[in-house]
Amino acid sequence: MINEIAIIGNPNVGKTSLFNILTGTKQYVANWPGVTVEKKVGSFKYNDKNFRLVDLPGIYTLSAQSEDERVARDYFLNEIPNFVIVVADALNLERSMYLLIQIMEMEIPVILAINSIDEAEEKGKIINPEIISKTLNIPVILTSAKNQIGIDKLLNEIIKLSNNTKNLKYFIKYPEEINDFLDSFISESKKFDSLKNYNNKWLGINFLEFEEKNFDYPENLVKKLKSTHDMKDLKELFFNWKFGFIRNIVDSSVISKGRDWSLRDVLDHVLTHKVLGLLIYIIALFMVFSLTFNIASPLSDLLDIGFSSLGNWISSFIKIPWLNSLIVDGIIAGVGGVLVFIPQIFVLFFFMGFLEESGYLPRAAFLVDKIVRKFGLSGRSFMSIILGFGCNVPAIMSTKTVSNKKERMALILSIPFASCSARLPVYILLISAFFSKNSATIMLIIYLSSILLVLLSAKLIQKFITQTENIPFTIELPRFRMPTIKNLLFYTWNKGKHFLEKAGGIILIATILIWFLSYFPASNNINSSYAAQIGKFFEPITSHLGWDWRVNTGLVFGVAAKEIVVSSYSTLFNASGDSLIMNLRNSLSPASAMALIFFILGYVPCFATLGIIKSETGSWKWTFFTFFYTTLIAYLLANIVYYIGGMFL
């Protein structure tokens, strides 16, 4: 028999870290809210018992106002687990208790894991778990997912609970008026068949908290309850009692509150200052880009020399012309042309990982909240934009944390303008060719332009397609933490490995296809090849930007994945590394190159992103809209950059 355990908690309390420790998996863990937007499932075995562990989104309540809260609520309503591990934050214990009580009210057996106990003890905060355990009659464990403290105790409690869940009952003593209402609700709700599969007592409590907003109650039941009870007074009584109950538990179990201020708190005030904080944020990004180019360029040069030597060596003994061209000019030049940028990509992710793991990036969301609000978005949306710098697919999925549906739709359709890492090799190639003296500055301009493009797009979409309304924004800033090397390496590998996977899959296939189209029908005459015909078809609308058919053909193939633009140019220009850079300089002006960079920044997202837009919107209409809308915006942007930027280049 397999026991199913759910693990849940507020955002950023370390529940996914505990999930990874228990299951041995490596789910992505970030130091900000909204990382787990859908439930994840793993399994583990302990003391010869098998367990299925379900990692639910980080939420504060089961109110189901946002998509991730709805995922959690529906899970508990429809797939009741054997028991639940509620993860609480030792430094914000009171905030975590509301969700704990809500889970207990569903009469599901619970283990409370108070996490980050090491950080609480560093500040002198001491918690007595026994007091909470005796008050609520539940197992309470002090843990630290970061340093793997209390894991054995947690596993032992899991075993104990798995042996004895049927007889466990948790009774919460409500005020008499609340009990009377619940008795009335249970009596009335039994008359409706649509409610017979649910816990009627919990439905009654849920109605007290959210009325008909959180569940599809029968209309007659709602009318009956509202006609016989003063719901406003009952609701006020209920919340006063519940928060008082939680406060008493926390006050009695926290032996020492510790220090109020620490160096981290002082640092927090400086970095979240509305002027100084923004300045520091821009400087931090500039330093990241500068380090990316300075550290990684020598490694890229070595890789370039290696691929060139490999091509020359293989070319010396393959005598069949077409096969020689396929291997050397197609596969090695094409795939190698992308792989030489692996050092820059890994270095960039390493430093971005440092900013993210340390808890700095969520503060950026806090800093820009007032700014992005003018574009109809909230700071929470800004976190999705930052996630989009890695990959647009998880960024779009993360919009589930945005409770406002209109804001979410505008964000889904605008996130493709967030410059994902797949575009990075193209930027690096063109910057190395034309703007190497100001590489970090150009990269910073590209990323800031990307953010501005997302914001303007969201504003535009909300103005013409949806209506704008005020959006509340609350965020629990994660604490500053010094990232461990292990976590940074995992983060870097987790982000960067997709390039290696793509190089062995879609980029390799695309490279062979591009070679075929550029080699045939007349071998050794690329100007009359199929690829040339594709590129020349678009020349009437791109020639004024200084783009020839080779540039156009690369962009066409880049629709599948942006890295393919680089491998296409390696094949079509018949060069890689420094030779490709020289050929690009001979074919493009700096203004043409800058226009090309901004076109790539905005034009149609990859197939995977289009697929997730279809999935999240449930509509082909929005998918096709994104395809044409982003391309049109990118084309306009390229023209603006070419004619205005060209005056300064």
Segment (H or E) for 6: strand 2-9
Does this model's pTM top 0.75? My answer is no
Please state, for a pLDDT cut of 70, what percent of the chain lies above it.
Answer: 93
- Decide if pLDDT at 31 tops 60: no
Please state, for a pLDDT cut of 90, what percent of the chain lies above it.
Answer: 28
- Decide if pLDDT at 509 tops 60: yes
| Helix/strand/coil for 107 | coil
Residue ranges of the annotated binding site are 9-16, 20, 23-24, 34-38, 55-58, 115-118
Cis peptide before 540 (omega within 30 of 0): no
- How do residues 425-467 score in pLDDT, each as one tens digit? 899 999 999 998 899 999 999 999 999 999 999 999 888 765 5
- Decide if pLDDT at 468 tops 50: no
Phi then psi for 85, rounded to 5 degrees?
-100, 115
- Decide if pLDDT at 166 tops 80: no
Nearest alpha-carbon partner for 106 in 191, 187, 203, 196: 203
Band of residue 642 on the pLDDT scale cut at 50, 70, 90: very high
Q: What is the mean pLDDT of the chain?
A: 85
Band of residue 168 on the pLDDT scale cut at 50, 70, 90: low
Band of residue 252 on the pLDDT scale cut at 50, 70, 90: very high
- Decide if pLDDT at 28 tops 60: no
- Decide if pLDDT at 127 tops 50: yes
* Most confidently predicted of 168-182, 280-294, 359-373, 514-528: 280-294
- How do residues 541-594 score in pLDDT, each as one tens digit? 999 999 999 999 999 988 888 888 988 898 888 777 778 889 999 999 999 999
| Greater pLDDT, 596 or 495 | 596
Packing angle between helix 360-367 and helix 263-271, nearest 10 degrees?
A: 40
For residues 287 and 440, give the distance between their C-alpha atoms in angstroms, rounded to a whole number.
8
Provide the pLDDT for residue 631: 95
- How do residues 353-401 score in pLDDT, each as one tens digit? 888 778 787 777 777 777 888 888 876 778 788 878 888 887 888 787 6
Which DSSP string corresponds to 361-407? HHHHHHHTHHHHHTTT--HHHHHHHHHHTT-HHHHHHGGGG---HHH
Degrees, nearest 5: CA angle 287-290-292: 110
SS (H, E, C) 545-584: HCCCHHHHHHHHHCCCCCHHHHHHHHHHCCCCHHHHHHHH
What value does the mean pLDDT take over residues 513-531?
82
- The amino acid sitting at 586 is N
- Decide if pLDDT at 6 tops 80: yes
| Helix/strand/coil for 467 | coil
Number of H helices, E strands in the chain: 32, 8
Band of residue 520 on the pLDDT scale cut at 50, 70, 90: confident
Provide the pLDDT for residue 101: 92
Residue ranges of the annotated binding site for Mg(2+) are 20, 23-24
For residues 85 and 396, give the distance between their C-alpha atoms in angstroms, rounded to a whole number.
28
Band of residue 260 on the pLDDT scale cut at 50, 70, 90: low
Provide the pLDDT for residue 525: 77
Residue ranges of the annotated binding site for GTP are 9-16, 34-38, 55-58, 115-118
CA distances from 411 to 283, 378, 451, 629 (A): 26, 10, 12, 14
- Decide if pLDDT at 94 tops 50: yes
139, 161 in Cβ contact below 8 A?
yes
Provide the pLDDT for residue 353: 82
Provide the pLDDT for residue 561: 83
